[in-house]
Copies of this chain bind each other. A is one copy, B any other.
Amino acid sequence: MSRPPNPPATPGAPPLPMADPPPPRERADAARNRARVLAAAAKLFADRDPAGVTMDDIAKAAGIGRGTLYRRYPDRASIARALLDEHERALQEKLMRGPAPLGPGGQGGPGDDVTPAQRLAAFYAAMVELLETHVHLVLGAETGSARYETGAYAFWRLHVRHLTAEAGAPDPDALADQLLAPLAPELFRSQRERGIGIDRISASLEVLAYGVLGGPTGP
């Protein structure tokens, strides 16, 4: 297979379409090591308790030195984020431009009369699915309060804030956070470990969505 022409030099760089002034290339050995790191980290996060994985574990598993690991990833969270990024971006894309009820619709398509409550419920369902697949990574990326500082969280908040405002709820700024809280990865894991399936979690979140933003059983 051919090498992609311009692999991004920094993992967290914003996805500008083109034209970075100096595209400094990435050396072949560096690229190889990055791939090793991500593969090793993914396995470690999945196998053990994500919070217990150390930088040394990852370096050893990837077969590189600690210094090399620190060169690109300043901490465990940044590695987890790198692994998570593409999945989150895909969901964000669907939210912004995808078909209803997850996306806005509005092209004269089938979802033009979708309510904010329906969109929130769809968002909940999508997030639950994402969590089910990648809780390890989310837990590896965010410990406690750090969650609320991440760019991803800011995006989810903006989205939910928009939906609540559209539904006419008072104080969307305060409500958005509170509607996002049930998606906290620690809570999700706790519920799953107590034997609550994702179908029940999603259904329950649907009750929440329709109750607060209005719908079949709401105002």
> Which residues in A have some Cβ–Cβ distance to B below 8 Å?
51, 139, 143-145, 147-148, 169-171, 173-175, 177-179, 181-182, 184, 186-187, 189-191, 196, 200-201, 203-205, 207-208, 211-213, 217-219
Which of B143, B178, B186, B219 makes the CB contact (< 8 A) with A208? B178
CA distance A176 to B160 in the complex (A): 21
Which of B189, B200, B219 makes the CB contact (< 8 A) with A174? B200
CA distance A145 to B193 in the complex (A): 12
For A178, the chain B residues whose CB sits under 8 A away are: 182, 187, 204-205, 208
CB atoms of A203 and B143 under 8 A apart = no
CB atoms of B145 and A189 under 8 A apart = yes
For A169, the chain B residues whose CB sits under 8 A away are: 207
For A201, the chain B residues whose CB sits under 8 A away are: 174
CA distance A208 to B190 in the complex (A): 22
How far in angstroms is the closest Cβ of chain B from A49? 9
For A211, the chain B residues whose CB sits under 8 A away are: 211-213, 218-219
For A218, the chain B residues whose CB sits under 8 A away are: 211, 218-219
How far in angstroms is the closest Cβ of chain B from A50? 10
CB atoms of A203 and B173 under 8 A apart = no
CB atoms of B175 and A208 under 8 A apart = yes
CB atoms of B204 and A175 under 8 A apart = yes
CB atoms of B143 and A174 under 8 A apart = no
For A51, the chain B residues whose CB sits under 8 A away are: 144
How far in angstroms is the closest Cβ of chain B from A119? 16
Name 16 A/B residue pairs within 8 A (Cβ), A-sorted: A145-B189, A147-B186, A148-B186, A170-B204, A170-B207, A171-B203, A171-B207, A174-B200, A174-B201, A178-B208, A182-B182, A208-B212, A211-B211, A211-B212, A212-B212, A218-B219
